[in-house]
């Protein structure tokens, strides 16, 4: 039997592969995470804006939650790419952070994390940051383990996957060159 057959018994998101091993799959929406933080005085830098290190901590936490949801296992951060500070956030503003899986490899996955300031007056969100995290799934012995496949449902998700493949190629090239 060369086809994959979807399991119907409490196995939603699982398929049989040719060698009869179960291959897990998840949708992008299955692991998406959104968090909201109020910028408080203890989050400020000397210039009166949100301290970049605090934002980086929040981003790493969201990326970790997304990866844990996708893999249902422990994860570690392997790298952060394209961390761009587009605009500052100020005391009293609400910072909204949204993370989602954009690509999966064997034991690693890419998580895109977008950050917005949400204005209370009109509810509008304005982008202030975007970053891409490479997260690695770990087994019970803290060794890398296979991650579930990613089900791409929309054209936007397919385009993000293709862009992620290019970012992965660039990461591999930089690694090979010693950067």
Digit-coded pLDDT (tens) for 155-168? 999 999 999 999 99
Residue 93 pLDDT > 80, yes or no? yes
Q: Is residue 115, in this structure, part of any structural domain at all?
A: yes
The answer to the question of residue 18 being in a domain is no
Find the mean pLDDT for residues 61-90: 95
User: Tell me, what CATH number does 101's domain have?
Assistant: 3.10.129.10
pLDDT for res 178: 84
Q: What residues contact 64, with CB distance under 8 A and at least 6 apart?
A: 75, 77, 135
Tell me, what's the pLDDT at 120? 86
Q: Give the pLDDT of residue 73.
A: 97
Q: Which of 10-14, 49-53, 72-76, 92-96 has the lowest mean pLDDT?
A: 10-14
Query: Is 45's pLDDT higher than 90?
Result: yes
Which structure tokens are listed for 109? 């996955």
pLDDT at 61: 98
Please report which confidence band the pLDDT of residue 22 belongs to, taking 50, 70 and 90 as the band edges: low
Asked if residue 2 is part of any domain, the answer here is: no
> Residue 102 falls within a domain, yes or no?
yes
Q: Is there a domain that residue 145 lies in?
A: yes
In three-state form (DSSP H/G/I as H, E/B as E, the rest C), the secondary structure along 90-110 is ECCCEEEEEEEEEEECCCEEE
Identify the domain containing residue 59 by its residue range: 27-176
Reported confidence tier of residue 17, pLDDT bands at 50, 70, 90: very low
How many structural domains compose the chain?
1
Phi, psi of 19 (to 5 degrees): -90, 15
Residue 1 lies in a domain: no
**Residue 4 included in any domain:** no
């Amino acid at each position: 039997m060369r086809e994959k057959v979807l399991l119907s018994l409490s196995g939603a998101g699982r398929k049989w592969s040719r060698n009869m091993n179960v291959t897990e799959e998840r949708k992008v929406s299955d692991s998406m995470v959104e968090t909201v933080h109020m910028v408080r005085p203890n989050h400020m830098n000397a210039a009166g804006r949100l301290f970049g290190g605090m934002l980086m901590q929040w981003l790493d936490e969201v990326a970790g939650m997304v990866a844990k949801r996708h893999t249902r296992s422990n994860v570690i951060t392997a790298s952060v790419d394209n961390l761009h500070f587009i605009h500052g956030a100020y005391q009293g503003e609400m910072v909204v952070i949204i993370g989602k899986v954009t690509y999966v490899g064997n034991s690693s996955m890419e998580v895109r994390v977008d950050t917005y300031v949400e204005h209370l007056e009109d509810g509008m969100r304005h982008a202030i940051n975007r970053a891409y995290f490479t997260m690695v799934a770990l087994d019970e012995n803290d060794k890398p383990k296979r991650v579930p496949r990613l089900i791409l449902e929309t054209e936007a998700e397919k385009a993000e996957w293709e862009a992620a493949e290019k970012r992965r190629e660039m990461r591999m090239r930089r690694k090979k060159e010693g950067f």
